[in-house]
Structure 1
Amino acid sequence: MRESEPLEPGTVVRRLTAAIPDALSTMGEDLGDAGAGATVASAVRSAVLAEFRTRAQLAGRICEIDARLWEETGLSRTGRQAIDDHLTQLGLRRVTDPSAAPDLFVVTEGNGPVLELIRPAYRDEITGQTVLGGQLRRRESPPREQHDAASEEREQDTRSEAQ
């Protein structure tokens, strides 16, 4: 079950180290001297930080793969759904609407008043961190829409994602 507040390593470490003495005492164990308590707290801290690093690395790789496949027209609907399911299960959100979260996007090129999406942004909904920033291009006029089956499917996916 996910918490409403994003998780961050310091909070997790504080919660776990505060719970360790109670957990050990219910098991009939005693921390003994203060050095043993510090050793346990240090071990918990190291384990939590390692897990957060591992999660960040995995999230980054998954988001990079999704960003590369996002514009792929040859990817089947089943393949696209599988990737979307993995993102959801991992608590990762693909953002394709820059107006919904402008802080997740940077303009990387071009001139003009119209912004065109080059790459989606990705946010880790569990930690609240940006995993991969989105990229936008400035243009003088809106890009011509290609109305083939793949682009229509992407538009439908983007609309359903925003709901």
Structure 2
Amino acid sequence: MSTAVPGGQPTSGAGPESAWRKETEPLEAGTLVRRLAEAIPAALASQDAEQQAAGASAAVASAVRSAVLAEFRTRAQFAGRICEIDARIWGQEGIPDVMRSTADEHLSQLGLRRVTDPVDGAELFVITEGKGDVLEVIRPAYLDEVTGQTVLGGQLRRRPAAPAGHNNAPGNDESARGEEQ
């Protein structure tokens, strides 16, 4: 199977070049149909004699179905990898701003949305650990706005609410900073 990468070259596989080969292009039906039409001859050539004997129209329908499914699998795989990379750098300290802005730009160009607020998409998150009333995002969720599908589910941690006048946000442990009483 061929997987599209930045620059438009497939990374592996003997299949036809992906219709998603340029992530910088907006997804347009005309472009997708043209690219799929270009991929159909290769899909027809890969069918065995039994499939070809079933008739030309059935072979074309099968080739189109196979090409469309392959393109959506390719997009889903590529989007999943981009989201996994972004999720790894999202919560890390010391990541250069240029990396963060580049990741934001790639997500936007691919029609992927990072969801960091469970209120905005509770169905995109699972609670993986902890006890308490406050939810903390461990990993953001990612939504493919082109297909409407969840690409990568988010993870939440429960923690106790901070006592009045205290901030128990991650990294704000006063005792860990060695402050004198």
TM over 0.5: yes
Q: 1:2 & 1:60 partners in 2: Cα distance? A: 17
Higher relative contact order (CA 8 A, sep 6+): 1
Correspondence for 2:136 among 116, 121, 136: 116
Percent of aligned pairs sharing the same letter: 67
Correspondence for 2:169 among 124, 141, 144: 144
Correspondence for 1:74 among 83, 91, 94: 94
Aligned length: 124
TM-score by length of 1: 0.68
Q: 2:120 & 2:69 partners in 1: Cα distance? A: 31
Per-residue deviation, residues 55-96 of structure 1 (Å, max 9, x unmatched):
111111110110000012111111110010000001100000
Q: Where does 1:87-106 land on structure 2 (aligned, <5 Å)?
A: 87-106=107-126
TM-score by length of 2: 0.61
Task: Report the aligned-residue RMSD.
Answer: 2.8
Q: 1:74 & 1:138 partners in 2: Cα distance? A: 25
Moved over 4 A (4+): none
Q: Which runs of 5+ in 2 are unaligned?
A: 1-25, 37-53, 163-167, 173-181
Q: Which runs of 5+ in 1 are unaligned?
A: 17-33, 148-163
Hey, what does 1:150 align to over in structure 2? Answer: none
Higher helix share goes to which structure? 1
